[in-house]
Structure 1
Amino acid sequence: MVDKKMEENIVQFCGVTGASTKDAKKYLDKYKRADIAIDAFFNDPTEFAASTRHQSNTSAPSTSKLHTLFTKYKDPDAEEITVNGTIKLCEDLDVDPEDVVLLAVAFELKSPRIGEWNKAGWTEGWKGLGCDSIPAMQSTLPRLRERLASDPAYFKKVYNHTFDFARSEGQRSLGLETAQAFWGLLMPHGLQGAALSHTRGGDGEDVDMDSNEEGWRPEHTQWWFDFLNEKGVKGISKDTWVMFLDFVRSINSSFTNYDMEEAWPSTIDDFVEWAKRRLD
């Protein structure tokens, strides 16, 4: 008999991966936790050799088809797809260029910068996702969007890649306006699902929070923006970007479980003091 927790995990697993219930149970039986099982599935969807919805065709994605598509969108004066080609691609995929799912696509295709895609990353990335046509790519986007919302480990990979992806060439930090724009995409999406669960640490591990204790709320993201603007911060370092995710996942809504003795960036230390004054 399948217990209630297993049923919930199966529903989550199938929703994120598009796999069959039978496959979901096999992965969950082996890996126990839903997030680890989902990650294992995407690393090796054929581990248990059962057919899955997103791999319904038996032939592997065609490299030549992907090269043809790449040429269609490539800048005629460069070796990469650039902004104009990206806009055309988004039109063909029927996706808004500012949709958060494109950050997952950028991670999968190893996009080096906003609106840029090189041939190697494009080919290997789409092959890894099982796609070699626009319809296949379109059908993959909802799966990536759901995984980004519900899988803590995957969210962290996309989140960390976004810093390098969004950074201007030659710059070590993100401009504040750029950082806020990407936080504005990622934070609400992660809070909708389990990716930014208030009872999880940076890698999706449970942390020492009371089960009834509320964590980071959507309005706190705006507080963070207000604080950074008031302080006159010009740029966000990679350390602050990376640690902010761990902070969001571990802090409670009253900011009382924050430990100043831990190695948090000073900007986050200052924000906690600012937020506590705002709560008074």
Structure 2
Amino acid sequence: MRRGSSKKAPSSSSSSNSSPMDLFRSATGKAATKELERIDQLYYTYANESSGMIDPEGIEYLCSDLEVEHTDVRILMLAWKMQAEKQGYFTLEEWRKGLKALRADTIVKLKKALPELENEVRRPSNYVDFYSYAFRYCLTEEKQKSIDIESICELLELVLGSQYHQQVDMFIQYLKTQIDYKVINMDQWMGFYRFCNEISFPDFNNYDEELAWPLILDNFVEWVKSKQS
């Protein structure tokens, strides 16, 4: 009996010496581990077995479960949240980063997180970064620095169409009819976002071509004015 008592004593002492903060940290650590396990489990639901990555086919399955089109801007926003580097692919590290930030360890939670993610991206402090990321995400070749006109038109409609419908619609018309530019670079891409934010449209009252605007925007303004006259 004494041996039994002496064996139990250290355990009792150890338990009594554990502070509430120690117990809280232990419980929090276990919960975080379980959450990460569920995030990983969800990842491998969509990952390609041979590559270990979520590829375009896996993203299509993911979109189906989220009940959104693969062309939905929220999928691009999800890629931004993960800081995914390669278009159409998610690595485990990227997936963990995004889903931990969204506190989504099930497909149901991820689906519910999409509206909150969209609100987060739409904040002015985040949107410039998202807009810039959207361009970089579409650079699919090594050392690629520009994007073809057709792809740019689709991307503009996706990321800016709902906010600046008139400007985007007119700029897309211009891009499809002009013959001087085959591709758009980052400077031109970011310049158009600044243009939408700062310039009165469609009268261009505060547009000054003497300022440091990309030449393509000077040409765009001239084109619109010629159509108006």
- TM-score of the alignment, normalized to the shorter chain, above 0.5: yes
Of the candidates 141, 151, 155, which is equivalent to residue 182 of structure 1?
155
Q: Which residue of 2 aligns with 1:162?
A: 134
Report matched runs for 1:1-280 at 5 Å: 60=32, 62-149=35-122, 151-170=123-142, 171-191=144-164, 218-232=165-179, 233-253=181-201, 254-280=203-229
TM-score (norm: length of structure 1):
0.66
Q: CA deviation at 1:235?
A: 0.9
Q: CA RMSD in A?
A: 1.6
Q: Which amino acid aligns with 1:164?
A: R
Q: Which amino acid aligns with 2:118?
A: R
TM-score (norm: length of structure 2):
0.80
- Which ranges of structure 1 fall in alignment gaps of 5 or more residues? 1-58, 192-217
Once the two structures are superposed, residues 183-222 of structure 1 have per-residue CA deviations (whole angstroms, 9 ceiling, x without a partner) of 111112334xxxxxxxxxxxxxxxxxxxxxxxxxx23322
Contact 2:167 / 2:196 at 8 angstroms: preserved in 1?
no
Q: Secondary structure at the match of 2:49?
A: coil
Q: CA deviation at 1:131?
A: 1.1
Q: CA deviation at 1:265?
A: 0.9
Distance 1:229 1:117 in 2: 32
Distance 2:53 2:147 in 1: 23
Q: Percent identity?
A: 28
Q: CA deviation at 1:247?
A: 0.7
Q: Which amino acid aligns with 2:86?
A: R
Larger Rg: 2
Once the two structures are superposed, residues 137-194 of structure 1 have per-residue CA deviations (whole angstroms, 9 ceiling, x without a partner) of 0100112223444x22222121110001112222211111111111111112334xxx
- Which ranges of structure 2 fall in alignment gaps of 5 or more residues? 1-30
Distance 1:169 1:64 in 2: 34
Q: Structure 1 segments of 4 or more deviating over 3 A?
A: 146-149
Contact 1:73 / 1:85 at 8 angstroms: preserved in 2?
yes
Q: How many pairs were matched up?
A: 195
Larger relative helix fraction: 2
